[in-house]
Structure 1
Protein backbone atom coordinates (compact mmCIF):
# COMPACT_ATOMS: atom_id res chain seq x y z
CA UNK A 1 0.00 0.00 0.00
CA UNK A 2 1.31 3.45 -0.93
CA UNK A 3 1.48 5.77 2.06
CA UNK A 4 -0.08 9.22 1.88
CA UNK A 5 0.28 12.28 4.07
CA UNK A 6 -0.12 12.24 7.04
CA UNK A 7 1.54 8.96 8.03
CA UNK A 8 2.89 9.26 11.57
CA UNK A 9 6.00 7.27 12.39
CA UNK A 10 6.20 5.66 8.95
CA UNK A 11 8.86 6.43 6.38
CA UNK A 12 7.11 7.65 3.23
CA UNK A 13 9.14 7.84 0.03
CA UNK A 14 8.37 11.02 -1.93
CA UNK A 15 11.11 11.33 -4.57
CA UNK A 16 13.88 8.91 -5.52
CA UNK A 17 16.20 10.59 -2.99
CA UNK A 18 13.81 12.02 -0.36
CA UNK A 19 11.56 10.29 2.15
CA UNK A 20 9.66 11.85 5.04
CA UNK A 21 9.02 10.81 8.63
CA UNK A 22 6.19 12.83 10.18
CA UNK A 23 6.46 13.73 13.87
CA UNK A 24 3.34 13.32 15.97
CA UNK A 25 3.17 16.98 17.05
CA UNK A 26 0.10 18.40 15.30
CA UNK A 27 -1.10 21.88 16.20
CA UNK A 28 -2.23 25.26 14.91
CA UNK A 29 1.34 26.27 14.07
CA UNK A 30 2.67 22.84 13.04
CA UNK A 31 -0.34 21.66 10.97
CA UNK A 32 -0.20 17.82 10.93
CA UNK A 33 3.25 17.89 12.58
CA UNK A 34 6.88 18.43 11.64
CA UNK A 35 8.18 16.70 8.53
CA UNK A 36 11.63 15.24 9.12
CA UNK A 37 13.19 14.63 5.71
CA UNK A 38 15.44 11.61 5.20
CA UNK A 39 17.70 11.97 2.15
CA UNK A 40 19.95 9.43 0.42
CA UNK A 41 21.55 9.26 -3.01
CA UNK A 42 21.61 6.15 -5.16
CA UNK A 43 24.03 3.56 -3.83
CA UNK A 44 24.75 5.37 -0.55
CA UNK A 45 24.59 3.56 2.79
CA UNK A 46 24.42 6.89 4.67
CA UNK A 47 21.61 9.41 5.08
CA UNK A 48 21.16 13.14 5.52
CA UNK A 49 18.45 14.19 7.99
CA UNK A 50 16.77 17.57 7.60
CA UNK A 51 15.02 18.92 10.72
CA UNK A 52 15.04 16.26 13.46
CA UNK A 53 11.81 17.69 14.81
CA UNK A 54 10.60 18.38 18.34
CA UNK A 55 11.98 17.03 21.60
CA UNK A 56 10.22 13.67 21.29
CA UNK A 57 12.25 10.57 22.05
CA UNK A 58 9.92 8.32 20.08
CA UNK A 59 10.41 10.45 16.96
CA UNK A 60 14.19 10.57 17.42
CA UNK A 61 14.26 6.80 17.85
CA UNK A 62 12.18 6.41 14.68
CA UNK A 63 14.75 8.47 12.76
CA UNK A 64 17.56 6.30 14.10
CA UNK A 65 15.58 3.17 13.24
CA UNK A 66 14.78 4.04 9.62
CA UNK A 67 18.36 5.15 8.95
CA UNK A 68 19.97 2.28 10.84
CA UNK A 69 21.84 5.00 12.73
CA UNK A 70 23.85 5.83 9.59
CA UNK A 71 23.30 9.60 9.56
CA UNK A 72 26.21 11.33 7.84
CA UNK A 73 24.83 14.81 8.51
CA UNK A 74 21.84 16.57 10.04
CA UNK A 75 20.74 19.91 8.57
CA UNK A 76 18.49 22.53 10.18
CA UNK A 77 16.20 24.84 8.20
CA UNK A 78 15.70 27.34 11.05
CA UNK A 79 15.77 27.75 14.81
CA UNK A 80 12.19 27.01 15.93
CA UNK A 81 11.87 24.30 18.57
CA UNK A 82 9.58 22.05 16.52
CA UNK A 83 12.57 21.64 14.17
CA UNK A 84 15.48 21.70 16.60
CA UNK A 85 14.20 20.17 19.84
CA UNK A 86 15.24 16.67 18.77
CA UNK A 87 18.84 17.56 17.87
CA UNK A 88 20.62 16.33 20.97
CA UNK A 89 18.73 13.04 21.25
CA UNK A 90 19.44 12.26 17.59
CA UNK A 91 23.13 13.05 18.11
CA UNK A 92 23.15 10.68 21.10
CA UNK A 93 21.60 7.92 19.02
CA UNK A 94 23.58 8.34 15.78
CA UNK A 95 26.62 10.55 16.41
CA UNK A 96 25.54 12.77 13.51
CA UNK A 97 27.17 16.17 13.09
CA UNK A 98 24.63 18.99 12.86
CA UNK A 99 24.84 22.13 10.75
CA UNK A 100 22.61 25.19 10.83
CA UNK A 101 22.77 28.91 10.11
CA UNK A 102 22.56 29.69 13.82
CA UNK A 103 25.77 28.56 15.59
CA UNK A 104 23.72 27.62 18.67
CA UNK A 105 22.61 24.46 16.86
CA UNK A 106 25.98 23.26 15.58
CA UNK A 107 27.07 19.85 16.85
CA UNK A 108 30.34 18.24 15.78
CA UNK A 109 30.95 21.13 13.39
CA UNK A 110 32.12 24.73 13.74
CA UNK A 111 30.87 25.90 10.33
CA UNK A 112 27.45 27.58 10.07
CA UNK A 113 25.62 27.05 6.81
CA UNK A 114 26.44 29.63 4.14
CA UNK A 115 24.28 30.84 1.26
CA UNK A 116 25.46 29.27 -1.99
CA UNK A 117 27.36 26.46 -0.28
CA UNK A 118 27.19 23.02 -1.88
CA UNK A 119 27.13 20.12 0.57
CA UNK A 120 28.29 16.71 -0.61
CA UNK A 121 26.92 13.96 1.64
CA UNK A 122 25.15 10.59 1.39
CA UNK A 123 25.65 10.49 -2.38
CA UNK A 124 23.94 13.86 -2.86
CA UNK A 125 24.83 17.42 -3.80
CA UNK A 126 22.73 19.79 -1.68
CA UNK A 127 22.73 23.52 -2.44
CA UNK A 128 22.15 25.86 0.49
CA UNK A 129 19.79 28.74 -0.35
CA UNK A 130 19.31 31.52 2.20
CA UNK A 131 15.57 32.22 2.42
CA UNK A 132 15.08 34.58 5.40
CA UNK A 133 11.69 36.04 6.22
CA UNK A 134 9.88 33.45 8.31
CA UNK A 135 12.92 33.83 10.55
CA UNK A 136 16.22 35.56 9.94
CA UNK A 137 18.13 32.26 9.90
CA UNK A 138 15.83 30.35 7.50
CA UNK A 139 17.45 28.37 4.71
CA UNK A 140 16.15 26.03 2.01
CA UNK A 141 17.98 23.02 0.57
CA UNK A 142 17.99 22.43 -3.17
CA UNK A 143 18.29 18.92 -4.61
CA UNK A 144 18.38 18.00 -8.27
CA UNK A 145 14.64 17.30 -8.32
CA UNK A 146 13.26 18.97 -5.17
CA UNK A 147 13.55 21.88 -2.76
CA UNK A 148 13.21 21.51 1.01
CA UNK A 149 11.68 24.81 2.10
CA UNK A 150 11.40 24.49 5.89
CA UNK A 151 8.67 26.89 7.03
CA UNK A 152 9.33 29.38 4.22
CA UNK A 153 6.67 27.61 2.15
CA UNK A 154 4.27 25.13 3.75
CA UNK A 155 2.35 22.29 2.16
CA UNK A 156 -0.96 23.95 3.07
CA UNK A 157 -1.97 27.35 4.37
CA UNK A 158 0.50 30.21 4.58
CA UNK A 159 3.54 31.07 6.67
CA UNK A 160 3.67 33.28 9.75
CA UNK A 161 6.54 35.77 9.85
CA UNK A 162 8.35 35.73 13.21
CA UNK A 163 8.46 39.41 14.07
CA UNK A 164 11.52 39.01 16.30
CA UNK A 165 13.76 38.78 13.22
CA UNK A 166 11.62 37.93 10.20
CA UNK A 167 10.88 40.75 7.77
CA UNK A 168 8.45 40.95 4.88
CA UNK A 169 11.03 42.52 2.58
CA UNK A 170 13.32 39.53 3.17
CA UNK A 171 10.43 37.13 2.75
CA UNK A 172 9.27 38.50 -0.59
CA UNK A 173 12.86 38.40 -1.86
CA UNK A 174 13.16 34.79 -0.68
CA UNK A 175 9.98 33.80 -2.51
CA UNK A 176 11.38 35.33 -5.70
CA UNK A 177 14.61 33.34 -5.22
CA UNK A 178 12.64 30.15 -4.76
CA UNK A 179 10.63 30.68 -7.95
CA UNK A 180 13.86 31.26 -9.87
CA UNK A 181 15.60 28.24 -8.35
CA UNK A 182 12.82 25.75 -7.76
CA UNK A 183 10.52 25.88 -10.77
CA UNK A 184 9.92 22.33 -11.96
CA UNK A 185 11.26 20.82 -8.74
CA UNK A 186 9.12 19.16 -6.08
CA UNK A 187 8.17 21.17 -2.98
CA UNK A 188 9.17 19.36 0.22
CA UNK A 189 7.93 21.53 3.12
CA UNK A 190 8.50 21.18 6.85
CA UNK A 191 4.76 21.05 7.53
CA UNK A 192 1.90 19.79 5.41
CA UNK A 193 1.88 17.65 2.26
CA UNK A 194 4.50 17.75 -0.47
CA UNK A 195 3.71 19.02 -3.98
CA UNK A 196 5.12 17.94 -7.36
CA UNK A 197 6.07 21.49 -8.45
CA UNK A 198 7.22 24.31 -6.20
CA UNK A 199 6.48 27.13 -8.66
CA UNK A 200 2.66 27.42 -8.55
CA UNK A 201 2.61 27.22 -4.74
CA UNK A 202 5.28 29.92 -4.50
CA UNK A 203 3.48 32.19 -6.94
CA UNK A 204 0.31 31.77 -4.86
CA UNK A 205 2.30 32.80 -1.77
CA UNK A 206 3.60 35.91 -3.53
CA UNK A 207 0.09 36.89 -4.64
CA UNK A 208 -1.32 36.22 -1.17
CA UNK A 209 1.29 38.44 0.49
CA UNK A 210 0.56 41.34 -1.85
CA UNK A 211 -3.18 40.84 -1.28
CA UNK A 212 -2.66 40.98 2.49
CA UNK A 213 -0.53 44.11 2.11
CA UNK A 214 -3.37 45.81 0.26
CA UNK A 215 -5.79 44.78 3.01
CA UNK A 216 -3.48 46.28 5.64
CA UNK A 217 -3.18 49.49 3.59
CA UNK A 218 -6.99 49.67 3.45
CA UNK A 219 -7.22 49.09 7.20
CA UNK A 220 -4.76 51.92 7.85
CA UNK A 221 -6.76 54.24 5.64
CA UNK A 222 -9.81 53.50 7.77
CA UNK A 223 -8.17 53.26 11.20
CA UNK A 224 -5.51 55.90 10.72
CA UNK A 225 -1.77 55.57 10.01
CA UNK A 226 -0.87 55.06 13.68
CA UNK A 227 -3.21 52.09 14.25
CA UNK A 228 -1.60 49.39 16.36
CA UNK A 229 -1.07 45.78 15.37
CA UNK A 230 -4.13 44.27 17.05
CA UNK A 231 -6.45 46.94 15.67
CA UNK A 232 -5.29 45.95 12.19
CA UNK A 233 -5.57 42.23 12.99
CA UNK A 234 -9.18 42.65 14.13
CA UNK A 235 -9.98 44.45 10.90
CA UNK A 236 -8.08 42.30 8.37
CA UNK A 237 -8.66 38.93 10.06
CA UNK A 238 -12.29 39.52 11.13
CA UNK A 239 -13.35 36.32 9.32
CA UNK A 240 -10.57 34.18 10.88
CA UNK A 241 -10.85 32.16 14.11
CA UNK A 242 -9.78 34.46 16.95
CA UNK A 243 -7.52 31.70 18.27
CA UNK A 244 -5.27 32.42 15.27
CA UNK A 245 -5.10 36.17 15.84
CA UNK A 246 -2.01 36.00 18.03
CA UNK A 247 -0.10 34.21 15.26
CA UNK A 248 -1.54 36.62 12.68
CA UNK A 249 -0.33 39.56 14.75
CA UNK A 250 3.28 38.56 14.11
CA UNK A 251 2.78 38.72 10.35
CA UNK A 252 0.78 41.95 10.59
CA UNK A 253 3.57 43.53 12.63
CA UNK A 254 5.98 42.62 9.82
CA UNK A 255 3.56 44.03 7.23
CA UNK A 256 3.20 47.31 9.13
CA UNK A 257 6.96 47.62 9.39
CA UNK A 258 7.25 46.98 5.67
CA UNK A 259 4.61 49.56 4.74
CA UNK A 260 5.98 52.21 7.11
CA UNK A 261 9.44 51.68 5.63
CA UNK A 262 8.58 51.17 1.96
CA UNK A 263 5.21 52.85 1.60
Structure 2
Protein backbone atom coordinates (compact mmCIF):
# COMPACT_ATOMS: atom_id res chain seq x y z
CA UNK A 1 0.00 0.00 0.00
CA UNK A 2 1.19 3.49 -0.89
CA UNK A 3 -0.40 6.69 0.32
CA UNK A 4 -0.13 10.02 -1.48
CA UNK A 5 -1.05 13.32 0.16
CA UNK A 6 -2.62 16.11 -1.90
CA UNK A 7 -3.28 19.40 -0.14
CA UNK A 8 -6.22 21.58 -1.12
CA UNK A 9 -4.90 25.12 -0.78
CA UNK A 10 -8.40 26.66 -0.89
CA UNK A 11 -9.42 25.07 2.40
CA UNK A 12 -6.01 23.83 3.61
CA UNK A 13 -7.45 20.31 3.75
CA UNK A 14 -5.68 17.04 3.10
CA UNK A 15 -6.80 14.59 0.42
CA UNK A 16 -5.29 11.11 0.28
CA UNK A 17 -4.83 8.60 -2.52
CA UNK A 18 -4.41 5.08 -1.14
CA UNK A 19 -2.98 2.76 -3.77
CA UNK A 20 -2.85 -1.02 -3.83
CA UNK A 21 0.41 -1.46 -5.75
CA UNK A 22 -0.31 -5.09 -6.64
CA UNK A 23 -3.76 -4.62 -8.16
CA UNK A 24 -3.20 -1.02 -9.36
CA UNK A 25 -6.45 0.02 -7.66
CA UNK A 26 -6.92 3.24 -5.70
CA UNK A 27 -9.14 4.85 -3.10
CA UNK A 28 -9.48 8.58 -2.55
CA UNK A 29 -10.18 9.89 0.93
CA UNK A 30 -11.69 13.38 1.30
CA UNK A 31 -11.40 14.79 -2.23
CA UNK A 32 -11.04 18.49 -1.53
CA UNK A 33 -10.32 20.02 -4.89
CA UNK A 34 -9.45 17.65 -7.73
CA UNK A 35 -6.89 19.05 -10.15
CA UNK A 36 -5.13 17.89 -13.30
CA UNK A 37 -2.09 16.65 -11.40
CA UNK A 38 -4.29 14.31 -9.37
CA UNK A 39 -6.13 12.99 -12.43
CA UNK A 40 -2.78 12.50 -14.17
CA UNK A 41 -1.52 10.51 -11.19
CA UNK A 42 -4.44 8.12 -11.57
CA UNK A 43 -4.35 7.92 -15.37
CA UNK A 44 -0.58 7.93 -15.95
CA UNK A 45 -0.13 5.42 -13.15
CA UNK A 46 -2.63 3.07 -14.77
CA UNK A 47 -4.70 3.13 -11.58
CA UNK A 48 -8.36 2.15 -11.35
CA UNK A 49 -10.29 4.33 -8.91
CA UNK A 50 -12.52 1.96 -6.90
CA UNK A 51 -14.06 4.18 -4.23
CA UNK A 52 -14.13 7.55 -2.53
CA UNK A 53 -14.32 7.69 1.27
CA UNK A 54 -15.65 10.78 3.03
CA UNK A 55 -14.77 11.49 6.67
CA UNK A 56 -17.47 14.17 7.05
CA UNK A 57 -19.61 16.52 5.00
CA UNK A 58 -17.71 19.78 5.03
CA UNK A 59 -16.96 21.53 1.74
CA UNK A 60 -13.17 21.30 2.05
CA UNK A 61 -13.45 17.51 2.19
CA UNK A 62 -16.10 16.94 -0.47
CA UNK A 63 -15.93 19.63 -3.14
CA UNK A 64 -13.99 17.37 -5.53
CA UNK A 65 -16.81 14.81 -5.66
CA UNK A 66 -18.56 16.52 -8.58
CA UNK A 67 -15.37 16.51 -10.67
CA UNK A 68 -14.70 12.85 -9.89
CA UNK A 69 -18.31 11.98 -10.74
CA UNK A 70 -17.94 13.53 -14.20
CA UNK A 71 -14.83 11.48 -14.96
CA UNK A 72 -15.26 8.18 -13.11
CA UNK A 73 -18.09 5.85 -12.23
CA UNK A 74 -17.09 5.41 -8.60
CA UNK A 75 -18.84 4.48 -5.35
CA UNK A 76 -18.83 7.05 -2.58
CA UNK A 77 -18.88 5.82 1.02
CA UNK A 78 -20.09 8.36 3.58
CA UNK A 79 -22.28 8.58 6.66
CA UNK A 80 -24.24 11.47 5.14
CA UNK A 81 -26.85 10.26 2.64
CA UNK A 82 -26.65 13.52 0.71
CA UNK A 83 -22.94 12.98 0.09
CA UNK A 84 -23.24 9.27 -0.73
CA UNK A 85 -26.22 10.07 -3.02
CA UNK A 86 -27.33 7.57 -5.64
CA UNK A 87 -23.80 6.56 -6.62
CA UNK A 88 -22.68 5.52 -3.20
CA UNK A 89 -23.25 3.72 0.02
CA UNK A 90 -24.33 5.19 3.34
CA UNK A 91 -22.27 3.72 6.15
CA UNK A 92 -23.29 3.89 9.80
CA UNK A 93 -21.72 2.76 13.05
CA UNK A 94 -18.53 0.73 12.88
CA UNK A 95 -17.67 -1.93 10.34
CA UNK A 96 -15.40 -3.12 7.57
CA UNK A 97 -15.35 -2.91 3.79
CA UNK A 98 -13.31 -4.75 1.20
CA UNK A 99 -12.22 -2.11 -1.33
CA UNK A 100 -9.43 -2.09 -3.91
CA UNK A 101 -8.05 -5.33 -2.52
CA UNK A 102 -7.71 -3.82 0.96
CA UNK A 103 -9.67 -4.15 4.18
CA UNK A 104 -11.01 -0.77 5.29
CA UNK A 105 -12.35 -0.49 8.83
CA UNK A 106 -14.59 2.45 9.62
CA UNK A 107 -15.62 4.01 12.91
CA UNK A 108 -18.36 6.53 13.64
CA UNK A 109 -17.03 9.21 15.98
CA UNK A 110 -19.52 12.09 16.10
CA UNK A 111 -18.83 15.39 17.81
CA UNK A 112 -17.09 17.53 15.22
CA UNK A 113 -20.03 16.74 12.96
CA UNK A 114 -22.84 14.22 13.24
CA UNK A 115 -21.50 12.24 10.25
CA UNK A 116 -17.82 12.08 11.27
CA UNK A 117 -16.14 8.82 10.24
CA UNK A 118 -12.59 7.55 10.69
CA UNK A 119 -11.15 5.01 8.25
CA UNK A 120 -8.37 2.54 9.07
CA UNK A 121 -6.32 0.72 6.46
CA UNK A 122 -3.46 -1.36 7.80
CA UNK A 123 -1.66 0.65 10.46
CA UNK A 124 -2.94 4.03 9.23
CA UNK A 125 -6.07 5.93 10.27
CA UNK A 126 -7.62 8.73 8.24
CA UNK A 127 -9.28 10.92 10.84
CA UNK A 128 -10.72 13.87 8.94
CA UNK A 129 -11.29 16.58 11.56
CA UNK A 130 -11.93 14.14 14.42
CA UNK A 131 -8.30 14.01 15.55
CA UNK A 132 -5.43 16.14 14.32
CA UNK A 133 -1.87 16.67 15.51
CA UNK A 134 -2.21 18.17 18.98
CA UNK A 135 -5.95 18.91 18.86
CA UNK A 136 -9.35 17.37 18.41
CA UNK A 137 -12.00 18.66 16.01
CA UNK A 138 -13.94 21.79 16.81
CA UNK A 139 -17.39 21.32 18.30
CA UNK A 140 -20.51 23.44 18.77
CA UNK A 141 -21.05 22.77 22.47
CA UNK A 142 -19.70 21.03 25.57
CA UNK A 143 -21.85 17.93 25.00
CA UNK A 144 -20.45 17.47 21.48
CA UNK A 145 -16.90 17.95 22.79
CA UNK A 146 -17.45 15.30 25.47
CA UNK A 147 -18.96 12.94 22.87
CA UNK A 148 -15.98 13.50 20.57
CA UNK A 149 -13.43 12.93 23.35
CA UNK A 150 -15.19 9.74 24.48
CA UNK A 151 -15.26 8.39 20.91
CA UNK A 152 -11.57 9.14 20.39
CA UNK A 153 -10.61 7.53 23.71
CA UNK A 154 -12.74 4.40 23.23
CA UNK A 155 -12.07 3.78 19.53
CA UNK A 156 -8.76 5.39 18.56
CA UNK A 157 -6.53 5.64 21.62
CA UNK A 158 -6.85 1.87 22.13
CA UNK A 159 -4.94 1.34 18.86
CA UNK A 160 -1.19 0.69 18.96
CA UNK A 161 1.05 3.66 19.63
CA UNK A 162 2.67 3.38 16.20
CA UNK A 163 -0.65 3.76 14.35
CA UNK A 164 -0.18 6.67 11.93
CA UNK A 165 -2.77 9.45 11.97
CA UNK A 166 -3.50 11.12 8.64
CA UNK A 167 -5.76 14.06 9.50
CA UNK A 168 -8.02 16.23 7.41
CA UNK A 169 -5.83 19.26 8.16
CA UNK A 170 -2.24 19.71 9.21
CA UNK A 171 0.66 17.32 9.71
CA UNK A 172 0.68 13.60 10.36
CA UNK A 173 0.96 12.19 13.86
CA UNK A 174 0.71 8.88 15.70
CA UNK A 175 -1.55 7.53 18.40
CA UNK A 176 1.41 7.39 20.81
CA UNK A 177 2.25 11.06 20.25
CA UNK A 178 -1.38 12.13 20.71
CA UNK A 179 -1.68 10.17 23.98
CA UNK A 180 1.23 12.17 25.38
CA UNK A 181 0.94 15.62 23.80
CA UNK A 182 -2.68 16.26 22.80
CA UNK A 183 -3.94 18.70 25.41
CA UNK A 184 -7.57 18.33 24.23
CA UNK A 185 -7.45 14.71 25.39
CA UNK A 186 -6.11 15.44 28.90
Q: TM-score range by the shorter chain?
A: 0.7 to 0.9
Aligned length: 181
Shift of 1:122: 1.4
Give the SS at the match of 2:40.
helix
Partner of 1:39: 18
Q: Would the alpha carbon gap of residues 96 and 145 (structure 1) be closer, same or farther in structure 2, given more than 3 Å must change?
A: same
Match of 1:73 among 51, 65, 84: 51
The answer to whether 1:21 aligns with 2:6 is: yes
Shift of 1:99: 1.5
Runs of 4+ in 1 over 6 A off after TM superposition: none
More helix by share: 1
More strand by share: 2
Partner of 2:162: 184
Partner of 2:111: 133
* RMSD between aligned residues: 2.2
1:47, 1:72 within 8 Å by CA — same for their partners in 2?
A: yes
Match of 1:120 among 82, 95, 98: 98
Shift of 1:209: 5.1
Match of 1:64 among 17, 23, 39: 39
Shift of 1:126: 0.5
Q: Which has the higher mean CA deviation after the structures are superposed, 113-122 or 94-103?
A: 113-122
Q: Matches of 1:182 and 1:71 in 2, distance apart? A: 30
CA deviations over 1:105-138 (Å, ceiling 9, x no partner): 0145453112222111112111011111111110
Specify which structure has the bigger relative contact order, considering alpha-carbon pairs within 8 angstroms and separated by 6 or more residues: 2
Shift of 1:142: 0.9
Partner of 1:102: 80
If the length of structure 2 is used for normalisation, what is the TM-score?
Answer: 0.86
Q: Matches of 1:17 and 1:162 in 2, distance apart? A: 35
Give the SS at the match of 2:176.
helix
Q: Matches of 2:57 and 2:179 in 1, distance apart? A: 22
2:30, 2:54 within 8 Å by CA — same for their partners in 1?
A: yes
Q: Would the alpha carbon gap of residues 47 and 108 (structure 1) be closer, same or farther in structure 2, given more than 3 Å must change?
A: farther
Partner of 1:173: 150
In the alignment, structure 2 segments of 5+ residues that lack a partner are none
Q: Matches of 1:90 and 1:60 in 2, distance apart? A: 10
Partner of 1:219: none
1:149, 1:188 within 8 Å by CA — same for their partners in 2?
A: yes
Q: Would the alpha carbon gap of residues 107 and 67 (structure 1) be closer, same or farther in structure 2, given more than 3 Å must change?
A: farther
User: Is the radius of gyration larger for structure 1 or structure 2?
Assistant: 1
Shift of 1:158: 4.8
In the alignment, structure 1 segments of 5+ residues that lack a partner are 1-15, 211-263
CA deviations over 1:78-102 (Å, ceiling 9, x no partner): 0111111111111112222212100
Q: Which has the higher mean CA deviation after the structures are superposed, 129-138 or 115-124?
A: 115-124
1:60, 1:90 within 8 Å by CA — same for their partners in 2?
A: no
